Structure 1
Amino acid sequence: MASNQLEVKPLHSGPEDGWHGIVAPGSRFAPESGRYHLYIGYFCPFAHRANLVRVLKKLDSAIDISVVKAYPKGETGWSFPGANGPDDTYEGSTPDKLFGSKYLNELYFRADKDYKGKYSVPLLWDTKENTAVNNESLELLRLLQTGFNEILPEGSPERNLDLYPEHLRAKIDEVTKWMTRDFNSGVYKAGFARDQETYEKGVIPVFAALNQLELLIHKNGGPYVLGKELTELDILAYVSAIRFDAAYVQHFKCNLGTIRGNYPVIHEWLKNLYWNVKGFRETTKFKHIKENYTKSHHDINPLAITPLGPFPDIESGVNLDFNSIKPGAISYPAVLQHQQTLPSV
């Protein structure tokens, strides 16, 4: 993407399509405090992207959220507490604050009564026009960075926060391509595989991407992926990395290694974001994460038992002297072979 502007797409081209609206001054969806509402699930890495940028940009008071329960997921999609009666509660979830819906799909049908796509989070809703604005997480990642700057205090750190700075865009675009393909989506390709061959084909790129991320952070000296500036890459990597040891290792069989045991550079980068950068810990809910995966994928975990470990969910203590850390790697031959196909760090 050559600029920080989102590619202009039709808002919603039909029942099979999602929503691609853009919030911008002078547009149909103008930036206004209190006008928009974000639907999320704390379990979902894609919703986590949007909510994290919302918090980093200090849009908490301008854009309120409704939070679906972590499980179960039925044909109607994710549910809100109370969907199955007054005892149907879940810590950290909320009612649908706009409409009192029982299920997320009700929102999608409000926007398009003939909708035939997925009922996913995140979903940004416009209360003024009473319709969906955007439900594509990568588009929301960019939209929330810039779309509401006009309502933020002039000269404030949150208004000036740019996660896609001009001088780093080429590198961000390059890394985003393999990170989203091999890491963010790769864990799902491995985890939802229906046979051995597909699983192995899916899991190898995951660890090739982790090997490469380990080298990238180390080369740039931390504390962020590209060095001293927090960028979109930190958001994209964090939402999968924070779920890795807690869920993906055992539930998705991504067990060639763990972040805490095999990737010392990523481990320190991850702990620093969680403990030291406001917004990361506040938007991370391990109970939602672990119980969503283990209690809503019945074909993978039919007894819906949630493992107690790892303990702790994330370790404390941060070493920011990245130059003193020897990078780790998973040296499984097929992993190293795939790593060679990735762009140089």
Structure 2
Amino acid sequence: KNFLMRWADAQMIDGRHMLECALVFLQQNHPLRPKLNVSMLSGVNVTADASSSSSSSLSSSSSPSSSSPSHELFIVTPRVQDWGIIRNIPAALLSLQEFTQSIELSSEMVRFGGLNLLVAWARTFQKRGEHAHYLETISCLITVASNNPFCCNKMVQMGMMEVITEWLQESSNDNLAEQKKLMLLATSVVDMDPEATLRFVNSGGLGYLRSVLASNETKLQERAIDLMMSLTFENKVDGLSHLILNHEGFVDDLKRIITHNSSDIRTIGRTLLMNLAKAGPTERRIIRTEGLQQTLIDRLMDENGVGFDERWSLAQITRVIQEHRDDAVNVQQGKDLKTEEDFVEF
């Protein structure tokens, strides 16, 4: 048992060691040398000729006696020879993406200042037109953000949501992969940090989402609806659902989503609409008066092409919309829809 525990420690420290190698390599090779907290690395001093990244070297300033006693035999500091594994920028990014799949290592990377480094490289690749490397960097940021509240909070505090919105607005219609990845990154952060929602909206994110929903790109629309589902989940930002429903064109977009040819879009669209309907009576009134409820009922009454699951989901949304309304429209031919058994008879 002790051997296994020590082996696990050794693996963890070696992962941290390679993470540090990748970070230092990226920092030394970036033209602007973005901020990296080298003092937090494993006893590493970095020396480099500013005119040439090839002269970069690493040396350990720590001795075994200065290491934590519990890990004395396993502490590993970045070694020059290990840079052979990380021979170029894509290899460094790939290493980062691999090692930051561990929540612990991704948190370590953020503490070192790795977010600044990744954003700096993303901007550099974007300006150079190196699209593949740009996407790899965004993928790395997605990995860091996934299921990690600490990293997402740091992203929000450093202004990452504003950066994501800016990149989305700058992306061309041809770069669908870029937009999908950026929306996935935004969704990952929004899921973990409530403030991310506010920052995304305040930086103009809704306008971008509106343009996607008005387009004919189904895959982009799926990502946009996913992001909107996260933004509106449990009404975490008061007034956001009201803002969305009052935003020019969004109600018409929702009508199209409910009747879309893609079953995937219809499914996530119904979840989004349920989020909006649950936000409060004001939102439900907008849904009723702007024709969205009628679209739901028309779809519900359509006997062709509407399966049981979709019909049941539509009925549940309709019931939520009718809450606290005296003149509620019956969607079951004069009967209140109260139980699953009643619905089966529909």
Scaled to the shorter chain, the TM-score interval is under 0.3
Q: Structure 1-normalised TM-score?
A: 0.25
Structure with the larger helix share:
2
Structure with higher Rg: it is 2
Q: Structure 2-normalised TM-score?
A: 0.25
Structure scoring higher RCO (CA < 8 A, sep ≥ 6) equals 1
